[in-house]
Chains A and B, each alone.
Chain A
Amino acid sequence: MTGAGEILLRAEGLRKSFGGVQAVRDISLDITGGTVFAVIGPNGAGKSTLLNLMSGIYQPDAGKLTFSGVDMIGMPSHRRVRHGLARTFQKIRLFKQLSVLENVLAGFHLHHQIPPWQYILHGAAFRRDRERCRDDAANLLAFVGLKPRAHVPAGSLSYGEQRMLEVARALATAPRLLMIDEPAAGLNAAEVEALLGRIVALRARGMTVVMVEHNMDLVMRIADRILVMDYGQHLFEGTPADVQAHPGVIAAYLGAEVR
């Protein structure tokens, strides 16, 4: 894994408006490779919009965005995946009719090693590729604890399992930076612990993780840096300890929970 310790993703002055609402106003950030970067803030603070700007679902009205030095502005989301940006969705978007395994297999889209003619006449290279994908998918499913569920339809998984499957599917694209949007939403305490363990394991492998999350306990325990947003604006950025000590943050956001 490259990029540990250096700036992997850089945003400068990102702006996005919907109608008259400024969802993201002038956000700048630097995300260091191999770290967990959390974005927190009250509902409607623009966290998910920021993630959508980074993953290419939306294009910003203004600002710069580079990923390992490559300009991302104007690049559609499917192209950004090639550069190593992957994401999960806040509102789960699995292929519900397909099996758990098939969901992960779809994630290998960019990584097949099959000569074009073997798509029509399946040969040795084709079979090797299929086997490799199945093995890799099985490993990813084992990583998120879903291996025993490989052959059930994705739609029949529990909510927590579906969130973990989204993570496995995103990892299949072999990203350098994984964006996860509210991964702990709807998870019970045991599932949150499992999720935390997985994120820590990913970081240990050198993966960069950007996480939008409401679960303060989770964020404070694993984030290296935290960006606090309010009304689309940058309110504060720092380590978990800095954030917990910052009076403005406590007033705007944590206050309600700490009380």
Chain B
Amino acid sequence: MSIVTSRRFWLVVAAIVIGLLPAIFTDSYWRTNLIVCAINVLLAIGLDFVLGYAGQLNLGQSAFYGIGAYASTLLITQVGVPFWVAFVAGVLLAGVAGVFLSVFAVRLRGHYLAIASLGFAVITYQVLLNWISLTQGPLGIYGIAPPPPFAIPGLPPIEFSNLASLFYLTAGFAFLVYLLLDQLVRSPVGETLTAIREDEVSAASLGVNGQKWKVFAFAVSSAVAGAGGCFYASFVGTLVPDAFFITESFSILAMVIVGGMGTLIGPVLGAILLTVLPELLRGIGDLRLIVYGVSVTLVVLFMPGGLVQAARLVAARVRRPAKVGRDP
């Protein structure tokens, strides 16, 4: 295995890129976008675990995102819990909500699960909107503090009101989750989830308890989305239910599909592209929504495997330039 194709090499490159990004983008506008990118990467790889690997068409990701955001924020503002305790609680609560939804996933397949999970997202949104005594409803929650400063003995404390440090925190966490999921999918767990995705009856004939593994995939996926929600709340400083409307589920779905389902790097690329692209297109006004929509449609039409498939085709072409006309 040459160094360029080794996994470790690319992980180090990714870590260096994350380290350099705030130095390249010094204005607060782009640093804000970088943090949004990191949060979207979290949401996308979380969804990919349950959708791309376990094959469960879950459209409830916006709900888990919102549950993580509201749970952690309310624990901080109403109960006075420290940030990191609230963070863990938010992640766990989102995970528990995922387990709750997976109870339906065990009975429902394909389109039916999609509808049920969408219903869950609608209900969660309505609760956030209408339980005014708890969530302030459409008025929103304001003045949410950033994560507390992180003190390393002998060094000045790291302030997360600073966008660059906040980016390092969210991107570093996303990187960690990526590593964790990457290890999981390259273990027999990956084989098991893929077997369920491909054919559940067949997987059962090999001893796979489909129900148990679906619950596991939903729990992991929704806990990751919950973590994204916690970071979102402390970064934006304001929570309104509209941030967790069902369209958010579809945005995350688009990132996973455009990037390439069933790979982990694909959703990362998809999340970055679909976060940055609308910003780059701001210059052309409302036309940007059309360009955005058309480009997503074109990718799905001509490159159903997403960016990862495109990259593989290019790599194959580079390796064997002589053999023309062997395209799949």
List chain A positions with a Cβ less than 8 A from chain B.
55, 57, 76-79, 81-82, 86-87, 89, 93-98, 102, 105-110, 112, 114, 118-122, 126, 129, 133, 169-170, 172-173
Question: Which among B75-83, B139-147, B183-191 touches the partner chain?
Answer: B183-191
B137 at the interface (CB under 8 A from A): no
The residue on A at minimum CB distance from B181 is A120
Contact of B199 among A87, A93, A107, A114 (CB under 8 A): A93
Expressed in whole angstroms, the Cα–Cα distance for A70 and B192 within the complex equals 27
**Which chain B residues numbered 277 to 300 have a C-beta less than 8 Å away from chain A?**
none
Q: Which A residues are CB-close (under 8 A) to B209?
A: 76, 78-79
Take A86-B205, A109-B206 as given contacts and tell me if A95 and B194 are in contact as well, using a CB distance cutoff of 8 Å: yes
10 cross-chain pairs, A with B, having the tightest CB-CB distances, nearest first: A81-B207, A95-B198, A93-B202, A110-B207, A78-B204, A106-B195, A119-B187, A77-B204, A106-B191, A107-B206
The answer to whether B183 touches A121 (Cβ under 8 A) is: yes
Number of cross-chain contacts by CB at 8 Å:
90
In-complex Cβ contact of B188 among A55, A93, A112 (8 A):
A112
Is B122 part of the binding interface, using a Cβ–Cβ cutoff of 8 Å?
no
**B198 and A114 within 8 A (CB):** no
Task: Tell me the bound Cα distance from A206 to B184 in angstroms.
Answer: 36
Q: Is the CB of B194 within 8 A of A106?
A: yes
Q: Specify which of B184, B192, B199, B201 is in contact with A109 (CB 8 Å cutoff).
A: B192
Interface residues of B in 182-226 (CB under 8 A from A): 183-184, 186-189, 191-192, 194-195, 198-199, 201-210
Size category of the B interface is 20 to 34
Which residues on A sit within 8 Å (CB–CB) of B195? Answer: 95, 106, 109
Complex CA–CA separation, A236 to B180 (angstroms): 58
| Per-position 1/0 for B2-36, Cβ under 8 A of A | 00000000000000000000000000000000000
Residues A82 and B194 in contact, CB atoms below 8 Å apart: no
Residues of A within 8 A of B191 (CB): 102, 105-106, 109
27 examples of A-B residue contacts, CB within 8 angstroms: A77-B204, A77-B205, A78-B207, A78-B208, A78-B209, A79-B209, A82-B207, A89-B202, A94-B202, A95-B202, A96-B198, A98-B194, A98-B198, A105-B191, A106-B206, A106-B208, A107-B206, A109-B188, A109-B192, A109-B195, A109-B203, A112-B188, A122-B183, A122-B187, A126-B187, A170-B206, A173-B206
How far is A82 from B207 in the complex, measured between Cα atoms in Å? 7
Q: Is the CB of B206 within 8 A of A114?
A: no
Name the residue on B nearest A111 (C-beta): B207
In whole Å, how far is B72's beta carbon from the nearest beta carbon of chain A?
Answer: 24
Contacts of B188 in A (CB 8 A): 105, 108-109, 112, 114, 119, 129, 133
- Which B residues are in CB contact (< 8 Å) with A114? 187-188
- Considering the complex, give the chain B residue whose CB is closest to the CB of A56: B204
Q: A109-B206, A126-B187 are in contact. List 18 more A-B contacts (CB 8 A).
A: A55-B205, A57-B201, A76-B209, A78-B205, A79-B209, A81-B204, A81-B205, A81-B207, A89-B205, A93-B202, A93-B205, A95-B202, A106-B192, A106-B206, A119-B184, A119-B189, A122-B187, A169-B206
